[in-house]
Structure formats: structure tokens, C-alpha cells
Amino acid sequence: MRRPRREFLKLVSLILAAELVPAGSALAEEWNKPAFAAKKLDDLYKALGANAPQQSDQVVLIGPEIAENGAVVPLELESKLPNTEMLAILIEKNPNPLAAVFTLPAGTLADIQTRVKMAETCNVYLLAKAGGKFYYAAKEIKVTLGGCGG
């Protein structure tokens, strides 16, 4: 799998500040517009601010190597790190890299499945926050012109 580019590592390291979502808050938190609207990496930095995550094999991103259709790419997000309180999906070459943020109160397992849209072949990052620190896993997913292209 291509080594994630240095520039993108910076994104992952500065992502999702500890205070993005106070864990366990009952209220559906305010939608973090700046983070989701961020197109360029440094805008995302400002919107989120976070300390450097480490790549960890305890964070597992399961997805197909080739997606027949970029409109629906199934992902399974898993973290084996104890007390994982947040998972986030970043799709490197989407117009807005941040796709989703999941906040997990105590008792909720860090094992979520969902489906995302990918603009083109690129790296997909799963970011996990546990014990106040950030970890990530990365996977390249190829998006092909599915179907018969007729």
C-alpha cells in the first residue's frame, strides 16, 4: 500500500481535537461545519486541531481493494484500543476529506459499519481517539468505472 504522503500525515496528525465532542454528551452536538467544509488540509487543521496520531495495528479499517462504484463503498471501522471514544473517516481525494465522525460513549464497541462515497481512487483513513491520544490506519481503495460503461 503506498506509504501515506508526508503532507497527508500532517492532516491526520492535526485532526479532530480532543474537545470536538465531549464524550457522552446527551445533546446531539452542533454540526462541525468548518471541519466538514474544509477542502484544504490547513483549513481542516484550524477547524479541528489535534496532536500527532500514530499508525497502529490496533486500528483496523476493513474495505474492498477495488470498489465497483464510488457511490457506495462499504467500510468497517474497528479499534481494539481500550476506551476508544471517537472514530472518524477521512477520504483523501474527496472534495471535503472529512466524511464522518462517530462518538462512542463508554459501553459502545468501537466496531461500526457504514458506506461512503469516494470521488476517485485514493487513501482512506480511519482515525481513532483513545485515552486522549490519536491513532490511525490507512488503506488505498481503487474506484473503477464499474459496470459495462455502455
Instruction: Restricting to residues 37-96, name those near another protein by CB under 8 A.
Output: 63-69, 71-74, 76, 89, 91, 94-96
C-alpha cell of residue 115: 458506506
Q: Is 117 in the site for another protein (CB under 8 A)?
A: yes
Could you tell me which of 93, 94, 80, 92 has the C-alpha nearest to residue 128?
A: 80
Question: With contact defined as beta carbons under 8 Å apart, do 35 and 112 qualify?
Answer: no
Stretch that binds another protein, among 7-15, 40-48, 103-111, 125-133 (CB under 8 A): 103-111
Of 40-48, 51-59, 98-106, 126-134: span binding another protein (CB under 8 A): 98-106
# residues contacting another protein (CB under 8 A): 53
The closest of 52, 74, 49 to 63, measured between CA atoms, is 74
- Cα–Cα distances (Å) from 115 to 51, 70, 71, 90, 102, in that order, read 27, 10, 9, 13, 13
Contact 67, 73 (CB under 8 A): yes
Q: Which among 1-9, 46-54, 97-105, 131-139 is the span making contact with another protein, rule CB under 8 A?
A: 97-105
Least separation in angstroms between residue 104's CB and another protein is: 7
Q: CB neighbours of 40 closer than 8 A, spacing ≥ 6?
A: none
Given candidates 17, 18, 41, 112, which one binds another protein under the rule CB under 8 A? 112
Binding of another protein by 130 (CB under 8 A): no
Half-sphere exposure of 33 (CA within 13 A, CB side): 0
CB-CB contact of 82 with 59 (8 Å): no
Which residue stretch of 4-12, 46-54, 109-117, 126-134 sits at the interface with another protein (rule: CB under 8 A)?
109-117
Footprint on this chain of another protein (rule: CB under 8 A): 21, 24-26, 28-29, 31-32, 36, 63-69, 71-74, 76, 89, 91, 94-96, 98-105, 107-109, 111-118, 142, 144-150
